[in-house]
Structure 1
Amino acid sequence: MIDIVNQTSATQREIGDQSVAVGAGRSLLLRRTYDATIEAVWSACTDPDRISRWLTPIDGDLRLGGTFQLKDNAGGEILRCEKPHLIKVTWVLGDGMPTEVEVRLAPGGDGVGTVLELEHAAPAELVDEMARTYGPGTTIGMGVGWELALLGLDLFLRGVTFDPATWGHTPEAKEFVTASRHAWGPAVQAARGTGDDDLAAAVAFAAQHFAPETGRDGDR
């Protein structure tokens, strides 16, 4: 169903600093281009029926100022909604500290396709606490979780029929996860000055504690 090499190379990955509502924060940024109009990508990211076909079922008052809840995943408040270019929400798992997710859409180069940027920003203290609790592979694991979601979006936009609830546990999804873990290495190294040995340890930790065994929801 998927070309692992092309799908892995389709995403650009960055780690940086990004302010959040509670102060200083750190962020993951994923960027990739879809062969679809900006209206089609916007609809896939905001229409409840379409979201359920590539991510997971969603409930709530889906409007500016409203709230949402993804099945067996995160929930939050819709902070900004500027059709068809930007949506920003709080992102909270269980009783955890709120983080923020922003999705930005823009026309692709020469007006072809749509560039999607997804930025997930969390308070610096939360990121540091997660690293202390779960180890150095936490950032990589979170990034891979989002990559699975964006891959699912690509499959949906291309008209591929699949079940997002089970696809994350298939052999090809696991192969994609393995490739993505290693692809996050350079971004981690560039942002944190991580040495080769430390980076290898982080990738190994992510392999042990995050996907493929836990699937999509366990990664973010």
Structure 2
Amino acid sequence: MDEYFRGSKSTGRELRDHGSAWSSLLRRRLGAPIERVWAAWTDPEVLPKWLGKPTGTFAVGGTIVLDLSQPRPTTCKIVACEAPTLLRTTWRYGDFGESEVELRLARDGDGTTLELEHFACSTADEARGTGGGWEVAIHSLDNFLRGLPPPSDITFPAMDHAWSRVAG
């Protein structure tokens, strides 16, 4: 597992206090064109190669259910979509409360700057936890974009075990 993440760079994660709620913001420069990064997030054929298997309607107002190799599914409703720079969705894991995730992409030379912000966390610890989960996802995305195979024989069973213990 360490070998898989050896080439990974920092996601530049920061916690943000919005007064009544917290968010976790991650920034990362990816060495792939913006169109390829956008497709990784929005193409139902590409998404399973690095994040999870989606079912549903990929359009504003549509609902997507993601199988992230966790005990419960994650349900997202697409709130805003401005290809290839902005995707905003609701985010609900199992029976937990709903939050929002905003993906912002910008051209950066021959690559792409990614910003992902997970909003509406009730505490700093919750924002820290969601940020940690997104760090793993962004590392997986970066490795996918670099052409590395996913470590499915290691990562997903470990995630299942960890989520089963947390979600109990």
TM range (shorter): 0.7 to 0.9
The structure whose residues are more often strand, as a share, is 2
Are the counterparts in 1 of residues 89 and 101 from structure 2 also a CA contact under 8 Å? yes
Q: How does 1:45-56 map to 2 (within 5 A)?
A: 45-56=41-52
TM-score by length of 1: 0.64
| Distance of 1:114 and 1:65 partners within structure 2 | 26
**What is the CA-CA distance between 1:164 and the residue it aligns to?**
4.5
Are the counterparts in 2 of residues 100 and 122 from structure 1 also a CA contact under 8 Å? yes
Cross-structure match for 1:214: 162
**What is the CA-CA distance between 1:152 and the residue it aligns to?**
0.9
Cross-structure match for 1:13: 13
Cross-structure match for 1:25: 21
Cross-structure match for 2:93: 93
**What is the CA-CA distance between 1:141 and the residue it aligns to?**
2.9
**What is the CA-CA distance between 1:80 and the residue it aligns to?**
0.2
Deviations 1:80-134 (A, max 9, x none): 00000000000011222210000000012xx2310000000015xxx24xx7xxx
The amino acid that maps onto 2:37 is V
Are the counterparts in 2 of residues 101 and 120 from structure 1 also a CA contact under 8 Å? yes
Cross-structure match for 1:2: 4
SS across alignment from 2:4: coil
**What is the CA-CA distance between 1:142 and the residue it aligns to?**
2.2
**What is the CA-CA distance between 1:41 and the residue it aligns to?**
0.2
Higher alpha-carbon Rg? 1
The amino acid that maps onto 1:153 is L
Q: How does 1:99-178 map to 2 (within 5 A)?
A: 99-108=99-108, 111-123=109-121, 127-128=122-123, 136=125, 138-164=126-152, 166-168=154-156
Q: CA RMSD in A?
A: 2.7
SS across alignment from 2:129: helix
Which sections of structure 1, spanning at least 5 residues, go unmatched? 171-210
Percent identical among aligned pairs is: 39
Where in structure 1 do 4 or more consecutive aligned residues deviate above 4 Å? Answer: 163-166
Greater Cα offset, 139-148 or 92-101: 139-148
Are the counterparts in 2 of residues 152 and 164 from structure 1 also a CA contact under 8 Å? no
Greater Cα offset, 9-18 or 71-80: 9-18
Are the counterparts in 1 of residues 118 and 130 from structure 2 also a CA contact under 8 Å? no
The amino acid that maps onto 1:88 is R
Specify which structure has the bigger relative contact order, considering alpha-carbon pairs within 8 angstroms and separated by 6 or more residues. 2
Which sections of structure 2, spanning at least 5 residues, go unmatched? none
| Distance of 1:95 and 1:212 partners within structure 2 | 17
**What is the CA-CA distance between 1:158 and the residue it aligns to?**
1.1
**What is the CA-CA distance between 1:167 and the residue it aligns to?**
2.4
Are the counterparts in 1 of residues 73 and 93 from structure 2 also a CA contact under 8 Å? yes
Are the counterparts in 2 of residues 148 and 168 from structure 1 also a CA contact under 8 Å? no
